[in-house]
Structure 1
Amino acid sequence: MTTRFSWKTILAACTFGLACLAGSAQAEPLRIGYSDWPGSVAWQIAIDKHWFAEKHLDVVFDWFDYGAMLDAYTTGKLDAISATNGDVLSTGANGHKSITIMLNDYSDGNDMIVATQDIKTVADLKGHKVAVETGLVDHLLLLTALQRSGLSENDITIVHTPTNETPQVLASGSVSAIGVWQPNAGQALHEVSGSHPLFTSHDAPGLIYDTLSVDPLSLKNHEKEWREVVQIWDRVVAYIKDPATQADAIDIMARRVGIAPKTYKRFLDGTHLLSLSDSRPIFERGPGLDSLYGSDENADRFNVRYNVYKHPQNVGSYIKPLF
């Protein structure tokens, strides 16, 4: 699936029927799950600057590893998640629906196909082995790269590998390329001499959107509050993009994940943050990746093909922008 986590864990975590329904009706405060992805970490700016308190919003952000966040949402412990559009579909199809109310960003280089020195183009992968965690977001990125080069997955040998193990597998020489996202991508590039990005999410903008997606009952009961949360996001993006405040923004984000601001700046550069005005055309219906609808349809086809879930989703029922 177009996710940064495995559907099996999501499915195992979800309690169907009354348990999920009961968990979706959250009491105050509104609880939002966020994790270590720049478009999600950016919320830390609003937290540290007390912008929610300024608006008298009772909002709590809970920090998780990404997979644990999805688990918490599927078991009804969160009102909303900062997650990829593919995850929004998979969690919904597997038991706990959510509605995308805004877009944080799209991946703009942080997801990569990293190849060894002898592989110069995607076409050169023909007949070679590629390590990727199948069913996840960089599997989709790999298929997109192959398709654009006139190849298919039948032209390579895919070696299923957990994402955090792909740098070691590339270093072992047993594969010619890996599908990987940051920070594992950076680890591979650092550890394997001559390795280089062969194809990245910068080459396919809109393939991977990161969203703020909300439990339908919470959205129904607290739409006014969610609209105010969305407006605060616009303030976050402006603070990051303003040259006068960008250094402080990066320092806040880097401190949240425990790395140097200079390093974090590179991760941020691979994430295309979206203001509300940037998002408006993306929320218009269209077949391409420049539309959330088109990107969701693409993710949905991939998810069904690779058995993330059995039946295609009505992607329009997962989308309701609040601006």
Structure 2
Amino acid sequence: MGKAGSRTTRSRLLAGLLLLATLLAGCGPTYQPPFTVGTNPWIGYEPLYLARALGHYDDVPLRLVELGSNTQAMDALRAGRLDAAGLTLDEALTLADEQVPIRIVWVLDVSAGADALVAKPDIPTLAALRGRRIGVEQTAVGAYLLDAALRRAGLSAADVTLVPLPVDAHVSAFESGAIDAVVTFDPARQALLNAGGQVLFDSRMLPGEVVDVLVVRRDALDCCTQAIASLIAGQQRALDHLARRREDALARMAPRLGLSPADVARSLEGLVLPDAAYNRSLLDGPTPDLAETARHQARLMRQRGLLSTDIDTRGLIDGQFLQPESRR
């Protein structure tokens, strides 16, 4: 056998051994794939990154994946390229409506002003939006908040010009004059306010309805419960750090968000960041509060053509991570 043939034989043997080793590792009792969690830039997800910066995930097989929008996170969940993601409740309902196999395991934040319709200074009221160009991300939460704002003004989508716009283009489109108003959220909301924008409508006018949740694919729930528990525990430790050492936490969070620490503090004023006890009140019991909120929201979304089926909102919630022993 010549040298070329020997190299080919050795290469095949090596490839076979590597494949065997991979298969054996995959069957081993300690094997666990990296648990991937997708998020877009949003102040309510930032405690996850604060937890990473504080080293709480150093020994955990998980990876935070930063995406440009929740739309990208939803697409990745549909395709199985993510194990979990931070989404708004209505986005989770949208995926459930599409039969994407997900469960809600944790509430990350409740928006109380951080989601808003921001307009140019020459648009003083919601009624003055008639005939104007409004940027909105093509997700359920954008449509939901915009629909509520327009209805309050006695307007409909036909009375304005809708401009589909991903969140990473909100500030540039607003400043360039490509749009007159935009449905947005922090950190973009705070940047727009700094640029002279004004809030005409925000999530305070929809109390308890704009909620961000951690959703996990059901197949990941079968293999990665320890990683999920560690992810949640790290986020809760980060919230504790934010409460006890606020200035340090704000300084760590600001660079990622592209805001000053003072602006991060102002953004946080528009959020409730639930601790473990609050999550238990929202997710525990035979009829969890979040299931009722989701049922109400699903009914409204169905009426507005945003959902096509009735959703079992109680069955959408998995409360296994509420127990203290699961977070050790």
TM-score, normalisation: structure 1: 0.74
Instruction: Name the CA distance, whole Å, in 2 between partners of 1:78 and 1:174.
Output: 33
The aligned counterpart of 1:43 is 48
Residues 231-242 of structure 1: pairs in structure 2 closer than 5 A: 231-242=233-244
The 1:57/1:112 distance shift into structure 2, 3 A limit, reads: same
Instruction: Name the CA distance, whole Å, in 1 between partners of 2:36 and 2:179.
Output: 44
Instruction: Name the CA distance, whole Å, in 2 between partners of 1:276 and 1:166.
Output: 33
User: Share of identical aligned residues, percent?
Assistant: 20
The 1:187/1:240 distance shift into structure 2, 3 A limit, reads: closer
Shift of 1:102: 0.6
- The answer as to whether partners of 1:32 and 1:78 remain within 8 angstroms in 2 is yes
- SS of equivalent residue, structure 1 residue 267: helix
Shift of 1:183: 3.9
The aligned counterpart of 1:93 is 97
Q: Aligned AA for 2:276?
A: L
- The answer as to whether partners of 2:84 and 2:217 remain within 8 angstroms in 1 is yes
Q: Aligned AA for 2:281?
A: P
Moved more, 290-299 or 247-256: 290-299
Shift of 1:214: 0.7
- The answer as to whether partners of 1:109 and 1:200 remain within 8 angstroms in 2 is yes
Shift of 1:104: 0.7
Unpaired stretches in structure 1, ≥5 consecutive residues: 1-25
The aligned counterpart of 2:24 is none
- SS of equivalent residue, structure 2 residue 214: strand
Q: Aligned AA for 2:79?
A: T
The aligned counterpart of 2:294 is 296
Instruction: Name the CA distance, whole Å, in 1 between partners of 2:43 and 2:192.
Output: 19
Structure 1 position 212 matched with structure 2 position 214: yes
- SS of equivalent residue, structure 1 residue 77: coil
> How many residues were matched structurally?
286
Shift of 1:71: 2.4
- The answer as to whether partners of 2:130 and 2:160 remain within 8 angstroms in 1 is no
Shift of 1:135: 5.6
- SS of equivalent residue, structure 1 residue 218: helix
Residues 304-315 of structure 1: pairs in structure 2 closer than 5 A: 304-315=302-313
The 1:222/1:158 distance shift into structure 2, 3 A limit, reads: same
Q: Aligned AA for 2:93?
A: L
Q: Aligned AA for 1:201?
A: S
The 1:36/1:276 distance shift into structure 2, 3 A limit, reads: same
Residues 200-279 of structure 1: pairs in structure 2 closer than 5 A: 200-242=202-244, 245-279=245-279
- SS of equivalent residue, structure 2 residue 57: helix
Instruction: Name the CA distance, whole Å, in 2 between partners of 1:136 and 1:32.
Output: 20
Shift of 1:85: 1.3
The 1:60/1:169 distance shift into structure 2, 3 A limit, reads: closer
Q: For the pair shown, which has the larger CA radius of gyration, 1 or 2?
A: 2
Give per-residue Cα distances to partners, 1:17-69, cap 9 Å, x unaligned: xxxxxxxxx9512221123111212111221222234xx53222222222333
Shift of 1:260: 3.0
Q: Aligned AA for 1:57?
A: V
Q: Aligned AA for 2:63?
A: V
Shift of 1:103: 0.7
Q: Aligned AA for 1:60?
A: R
- SS of equivalent residue, structure 2 residue 189: helix
Structure 1 position 281 matched with structure 2 position 281: yes
Moved more, 212-221 or 107-116: 107-116
The 1:97/1:125 distance shift into structure 2, 3 A limit, reads: farther
The aligned counterpart of 1:63 is 66
- SS of equivalent residue, structure 2 residue 248: helix
Instruction: Name the CA distance, whole Å, in 1 between partners of 2:259 and 2:128.
Output: 34
- SS of equivalent residue, structure 1 residue 32: strand
Structure 1 position 162 matched with structure 2 position 164: yes
Q: Aligned AA for 2:81?
A: K
Give per-residue Cα distances to partners, 1:56-90, cap 9 Å, x unaligned: 53222222222333322221122111111122122
Unpaired stretches in structure 2, ≥5 consecutive residues: 1-30, 323-328
Q: Aligned AA for 2:232?
A: V
Give per-residue Cα distances to partners, 1:255-296, cap 9 Å, x unaligned: 333443333333233222111112222236899xx9322332
Instruction: Name the CA distance, whole Å, in 2 between partners of 1:319 and 1:302.
Output: 19
Give per-residue Cα distances to partners, 1:130-169, cap 9 Å, x unaligned: 625366423322333455x5x5444981321124566646
Q: 2:33 aligns with which of 23, 28, 35?
A: 28
The 1:205/1:130 distance shift into structure 2, 3 A limit, reads: farther
Instruction: Name the CA distance, whole Å, in 2 between partners of 1:41 and 1:260.
Output: 14
